[in-house]
Every structure is written in structure tokens, then in C-alpha cells.
Amino acid sequence: MLTHFDKAGNAHMVDVGSKPLTNRVAIAEGYIKVNDEAFSAIVNGTAKKGDVLGVARIAGIMAAKKTSDIIPLCHPISLTRCNISFTPDQNTNCIHCTCETACNGQTGVEMEALHAVSAALLTIYDMCKAIDRGMQICDIRLNTKSGGASGTWKRMED
């Protein structure tokens, strides 16, 4: 059943008012593939625009907090945690981004984690586009979620 449509087929925000408060956690990830020069600038902190990963981390946190302003029908929630980490992989010239979000609420934090990863990777692109316009943002996905009536979900290994 599609929950974001009423009986007449009109889009609406789902009523979560009667759902119990539960601790909810979500982890999402993605990566950006860059050329050698951009990879070096990112990991060595020599990009002309500044600390790429530091700015990307802040952008991701800000995006998580503003998810309901961007995604239609997404509930505004009070995050209790938003941790963003980056792992550079020199073998593939990729910067991996992981975000963990949490709240004690009536609806999940999956969209916040996914939005944070997206914004963080887009920020890396923006800060490095003068070095490499061919960067690729790849495989943004939810890895785990817990809490609520549906319980825990974990991505099966690829």
C-alpha cells in the first residue's frame, strides 16, 4: 500500500501522530571517484577552495537537518546525532562517505542519512570541479536502519 496517497489518490504527509517514540538509527553511504590531482588535493588539504572534507562534513550535517525542506512529504524530525566520516581509497581514487543519523521519534531517519551523504559528495564535487569536471558520484544507498514497527533492516552483502 502506498502510504503517501489518500483514498482519492492525492499526495499527503503520512500521519505519524499515533506512533510510539522509538530510538531510530540509519546508516547510509556513497562515494565519489576523482582523478589523481583532485584526490591529492583532497587528502593533502591543498585544494584552492580550502578544507574539502571539513566543508563537506558540515554540508552533510546541514543537509540532514534540512531534509524535510527539500524532500516533499518528509517529516521534520529532531536529530539526536549526525556523524559523517570520509575514507579515501588511493587504489581507486575514491572518497567514501558514511553518515549515521539518529533520533528518538515517530518516523525514521533514513532520508536524513541519504540526504547527508548526497550533499557531502556534491560539496566535494563543487570544491574540486576546477581540478576535475569528470568526477562521478556513485552508489548512494542505505546500509542499515533500526527502530520503529518494522524493526531492523540491513543491506545484504553485494
Distance CA 93, CA 87 (A): 11
Q: With contact defined as beta carbons under 8 Å apart, do 132 and 17 qualify?
A: no
Q: Which of 89, 126, 139, 158 is catalytic?
A: 126
Taking the CA atoms of 18, 19, 22 and 24 in sequence, report the sign of the dihedral they define.
Answer: negative
- C-alpha cell recorded at residue 17: 501522530
- C-alpha cell recorded at residue 42: 583532497
Helix (H) or strand (E) holding 110: helix 110-128
Q: Tell me if residue 126 is catalytic.
A: yes
Distance CA 31, CA 48 (A): 22
Q: Active-site residue numbers?
A: 126
